[in-house]
Amino acid sequence: MPLDLSWNHNTHYHPWLLRQVPAGAERALDVGCGSGRFARVLAGQVAQVDAFDPAPAMIEDATERTPTRLGIDYTVARLAEMDLEPGRYHFISAVSSLHHMPCTESLDALVKALAPGGVLAVVGLYRPEGPVDAATTAAALLPQWTIGAGLAAARAVTGVRDPSHATKSGMPVRDPDMSLREIGVAAALALPGAVLRRRLFWRYTLSWRSPGGTDA
């Protein structure tokens, strides 16, 4: 297996996402999958992974990067265009994608697609407001520089290329328009009991388990 010396703000939270996958999960959905990086990680833990993204270039890139043995089903679509089967998925992930969509409507659609006992796990972006967000932003700078410098040095020694340079263009970029406070209000309405946390690297995490099923 090639040496992986890549890192970004999203991959930093992949281990957290994997810890949210319920035991025995068989079907998963990755929302706004981009180049499929987390979908491929998820396929190592869940038998069937469906993934979609509205950008054709991203789905083309994801398909090229994904070994056929993983069996990931990629689709070019927006969430609003997806005819998701109610109760189909045991795990749904959304990595830096929900801020591209209407928040309340998107959460409602994903809730309906979860099986009883299924888990929705989000790594998202929020619009900073107030001193706590400013302090969290400042706190992220040193670890970001440290990790980046360490990986750059390791790539220089090993000759491993930064895989970010091989990613095709076409990834849509949009600044979040909701603050963490506003996201919390929307989550409280759509996902009673959800756990929302402010994180480093301009991210938040949100996890919610659908009622029913058997707890792990």
| Nearest alpha-carbon partner for 190 in 127, 128, 101, 125 | 101
pLDDT value of residue 177:
87
Q: Contact, 62 vs 123, CB < 8 A?
A: no
Has residue 173 got a pLDDT over 60?
yes
The rounded percent of the chain whose pLDDT value lies above 70 is 75
pLDDT value of residue 142:
52
Q: Contact, 34 vs 59, CB < 8 A?
A: no
**What does the pLDDT look like over 204-215, one tens digit per residue?**
999 999 998 765
Question: Cα–Cα distance between 110 and 85 in angstroms, integer?
Answer: 10
Q: What is the mean pLDDT of the chain?
A: 84
Question: Cα–Cα distance between 55 and 35 in angstroms, integer?
Answer: 10
Q: What angle do CA 138, 143, 149 make, to 5 degrees?
A: 125
pTM beyond cutoff 0.85: no
Has residue 7 got a pLDDT over 60?
no
Q: Contact, 113 vs 93, CB < 8 A?
A: no
Q: Cα 144 to the chain's mean position, in Å? A: 19
Q: How confident is the model at residue 80 (pLDDT cuts 50, 70, 90)?
A: very high
What letter represents residue 87's amino acid?
Answer: G
pLDDT value of residue 212:
85
Q: Copy the structure tokens of residue 45.
A: 């833990």
The CATH architecture of the domain made up of 25-127+171-209 is 3-Layer(aba) Sandwich (3.40)
Task: Please give the average per-residue pLDDT across 44-61, as a whole number.
Answer: 96
pLDDT value of residue 130:
73
Has residue 64 got a pLDDT over 50?
yes
Question: Cα–Cα distance between 187 and 194 in angstroms, integer?
Answer: 7
Q: What residue ranges do the domains of the chain occupy?
A: 25-127+171-209, 130-166
Has residue 5 got a pLDDT over 50?
no
| Nearest alpha-carbon partner for 36 in 67, 13, 3, 7 | 67
Has residue 91 got a pLDDT over 50?
yes
